[in-house]
Amino acid sequence: VLRTVSGLDAIASIWNVMPVAFEKSAKAAAKFTPSPPTHCVWIEIFLPLNGLAARYQVIGEFDKAVEAAREALMLRPDNYMPYANLASSYESLNRLEEAKQICAKALGAQRDSLHTHDVSFEIAYLENDQATMQREMASAKGTNREANIVFLQGLVLASAGRLRLARPIFEHSYAKRRE
């Protein structure tokens, strides 16, 4: 017998299935936890919604991920996580203009992250926008984003069949991640 699952039931079921992932997300986000009275909104609604968006991405339910990420963004426009989830979901749906707008909005609100910059680089690659790719690589230099952008650079070379050039790029990315 199939039953209709409400949004909160879905959140609860995913919370039960993915406790390790949510625990890691909650620990990573703990430093951003606001003081009361919005603390309950943060723990009870925002984190599960944002986590739900991420889980929907993992299982390929990108339309549902967009919906959950939008709701999370409405609740907490001051947090970087829903921007990243929303941009990535739009990218996965090939809604590149909307993904770029979310990345730009995150940057303008100073809520950009490694993930929004990755999405920006990936879209630039898809659109053959060398200027944006170069800008993303330059802005990542010397930051915590550098290993990711270098890895994406390696993927660009590998996808063009330039495997001999890609290998040292991947090795450099790996070395950066270990630093």
pLDDT at position 144 is 87
pLDDT at position 111 is 92
Q: Which amino acid is at 5?
A: V
pLDDT at position 40 is 53
pLDDT at position 19 is 37
Note the pLDDT tens digit of each residue in 164-178.
999 999 999 999 888
pLDDT at position 24 is 44
Structural tokens at position 45? 């609604």
pLDDT at position 6 is 41
Cα gap 28→7, rounded to integer Å: 24
pLDDT at position 41 is 53
DSSP letter, residue 6: -
pLDDT at position 163 is 93
- Helix, strand, or coil here: 21? helix
Burial 160-176 (b: 16+ CB within 10 A, else e): eeeeeebeebbebbeeb
Contacts of 10 (CB under 8 A, 6+ apart): 52
pLDDT mean values, one per 10 residues, the chain (179 residues): 40 40 44 47 70 92 95 89 95 97 95 93 95 95 91 93 94 89
